[in-house]
Amino acid sequence: MSVRILALVGSLRAGSHNRQLAEAAVKHAPEGVEITLYEGLAEVPFYNEDIDVEGALPEAAARLRTTAAASDALLLFSPEYNGTIPAVLKNAIDWMSRPYGAGALVGKPVAVVGTSLGQYGGVWAQDEARKAAGIAGASVLDDAKLSIPGSVNRFADAHPADDSEVVEGLTRVVRQLTEAGAAA
């Protein structure tokens, strides 16, 4: 049986380089690993405890929780916005962190990678994503990292799936995540 990895992308724009990174991970997934790019984060409302109750739970949030819970591991792709994690990804983590102690992230292996325009490739945002996922109960792989700087220039003409250095880095992270996902 294959290991199922759910990919969440913290940028909603159509031309997102982080989305392209996720596409590269899907395309180059090792045998026995199934990576699914999650569609629908834009539809998930801002987290609100008033609607996180039976009868009021938004369908988009419920679907995110169910899909994450059914996955063996999560791979988060994050750009950096103003030195930290984009709201869309933080919102997804918040929804997956509840019910407290029993959220979809509890015990789930999680790795965070990404690319950003700046010279550090969004490390602040990716560190924050690791921190938030860990506090939400995930089993975060702190040594499975990939931060690619200068996104706009680096991927101006070449899709990440065709960049051998990027594919090598992604494959390393996916293998680490797969081992953790198979053992979880």
List interacting residues with ligand FNR (CB under 6 A): 11, 13, 16-18, 79-83, 116-118, 122, 151-152
Q: Work out how close the CB of 65 gets to ligand FNR at its nearest, in angstroms, rounded to a whole number.
A: 24
58 Cβ contact partners less than 8 Å away, ≥ 6 residues apart: 44, 45, 51
Spell out the long-range contacts of 153-156 with Cβ–Cβ below 8 A and sequence spacing 24 or more. Answer: 154/17, 154/115, 155/17, 155/20, 155/115
Q: Residue 98 Cβ, how far from ligand FNR at the closest point, in Å?
A: 26
Q: Of 67 and 116, which has the nearer Cβ to ligand FNR?
A: 116
Whose Cβ is closer to ligand FNR: residue 88's or residue 180's?
88
Among the listed residues 4, 178, 146, the one whose alpha carbon sits nearest the alpha carbon of residue 77: 146
Residue placing its CB nearer to ligand FNR in the complex, 118 or 134: 118
User: Which CB sits closer to ligand FNR, 82 or 164?
Assistant: 82
The arrangement of strands across the sheet holding 33-37 comes to 33-37, 3-9, 73-77, 109-115, 139-148
Residue with nearest beta carbon to ligand FNR: 118
Q: How far is the CB of 115 from ligand FNR (least distance, A)?
A: 7
CB of 66 to ligand FNR, least distance (A): 26
Rg (CA), the chain: 15
